[in-house]
Structure 1
């Protein structure tokens, strides 16, 4: 990619990240994944296991474990701490916005869009693990 196109791409990306997105614009699965990240952060801060609460929320232990697995995978592959807002907040952090884009691409089965969403941010050798965890989670969320 020529230098001019690269700087334009990243300028547009930075501008879009400066405007917080609203969780009310997400699909139901995107909202579930975003809220799961927020709940897992709260539970981790209090030293509690989030799986029982997620299982009750999704009415499925398998879905809860898949979502928790996605959270754990993100913690391993994300290049910096994943930032979330409080569960009551309507605005999304840039990390949550990226996660929503990943969930949208996974639900649609668009592997290339998934990788494009995190290209240059998450190392390419980590995309496959993140994609598999995302596909598993969104497939099991009711």
Structure 2
């Protein structure tokens, strides 16, 4: 038998293990998580999501900003971004991270944003993610 104990999981991993309900999100975080889910569906169907996002947000600018964030995440995330179906109330760990990124962008907490991604997303990609998140949040706030 092995007497070695396994190290306790970090607070971040422990938090991600807990199921998170989409109904507890702010409106902007909910919009961004749902946009990720819708974009995944549109990609599988071979359709451009921007027209539908523009109709949803009643703004082409907001739709383009949100889609820009989605594209930035797809290009900078270290692995495929996992989403649930749009009807699902539970969030994936990636969606929980996106909600946290949104909270940090709203609070203008650049250090918190970086700390959330530290050790998961390469540091040289943080700036692109921060700017895309900040732009998407600002665009959504302008139409709300």
Which interval holds the TM-score relative to the shorter structure? over 0.9
Deviation at 1:12, TM superposition (A): 2.1
Deviation at 1:91, TM superposition (A): 0.2
**How many angstroms apart in 2 are the aligned matches of 1:22 and 1:58?**
22
Matched, 1:18 2:11: no
**How many angstroms apart in 2 are the aligned matches of 1:92 and 1:33?**
12
1:123 corresponds in structure 2 to 122
**How many angstroms apart in 1 are the aligned matches of 2:19 and 2:40?**
20
1:55 corresponds in structure 2 to 54
Q: Give matches, 1:46-125, under 5 Å.
A: 46-125=45-124
Q: Secondary structure at the match of 2:29?
A: helix
Deviation track 1:51-108 (CA, whole Å, cap 9, x = no partner) reads 0000000000000000000000000100000000000000000000000000000011
Q: Secondary structure at the match of 1:122?
A: coil
Gapped runs of 5+ residues in structure 1?
1-6
Gapped runs of 5+ residues in structure 2?
1-6
TM-score (norm 2): 0.91
Matched, 1:140 2:139: yes
**How many angstroms apart in 2 are the aligned matches of 1:47 and 1:102?**
28
**How many angstroms apart in 2 are the aligned matches of 1:34 and 1:80?**
17
